[in-house]
Structure 1
Amino acid sequence: MPDHGVLNDPWTYDVVEARYVAGRRPFGTLDLVLEKDGQRLVLRFTDAHDLAIDPGFPYCYMGLELLDVSSIGWERTRIRVQGSEDAPGIRFWAGDVQRIDG
């Protein structure tokens, strides 16, 4: 699957916070706070589901991947988040993602 275009080189960022909020929809919202060179940004994933977080997460070398899986054709699923390294990480599917700088 191709990389999602919301963030270039996501594996170069550290995950410093993860917040999941259950909503009225079938799935919730997940905010990942990322940091690189002292700058923070938030990736807000809507319709986040099948969330798995390994013991030891966040691990600085987990190699975060954001994949565009829209070609699969699954309803409410267009994004796959996972680690590219064999290290403790986070994995989930989502319907959409929005980048929030600041």
Structure 2
Amino acid sequence: MVLKIFFFFFFFALFHLFFQYKIFLNLLLTFELLSLLVYIICMYLGGMSLSVVSFHVCNMVLCFGVIESVMGLALLILCSRSSSEKHVSCFSFLKF
């Protein structure tokens, strides 16, 4: 059951990533959903194996998800203050 929910949200995130890529906030939300899905599947597989190390890896994945969201929002604020637009095309000066 958990894997069906995982794959549904995974394909939803990929669909959203490919068709809503012009707005930077949508990209941030999609990447946050993908990191949450990685955390959920890590917890599921860790619960099946009953390994203590897997739960530490899950906490590390969760910390990376928080770091990713903070850095993404900092980029969004920085770029929106300098250009006053919300589209990704205005972020071309970042060179990535």
Which bracket does the TM-score occupy, shorter chain normalised? under 0.3
More strand per residue: 1
Higher Cα Rg, which structure: 2
Q: TM-score, normalised by structure 1?
A: 0.25
Q: Which has the higher helix share?
A: 2
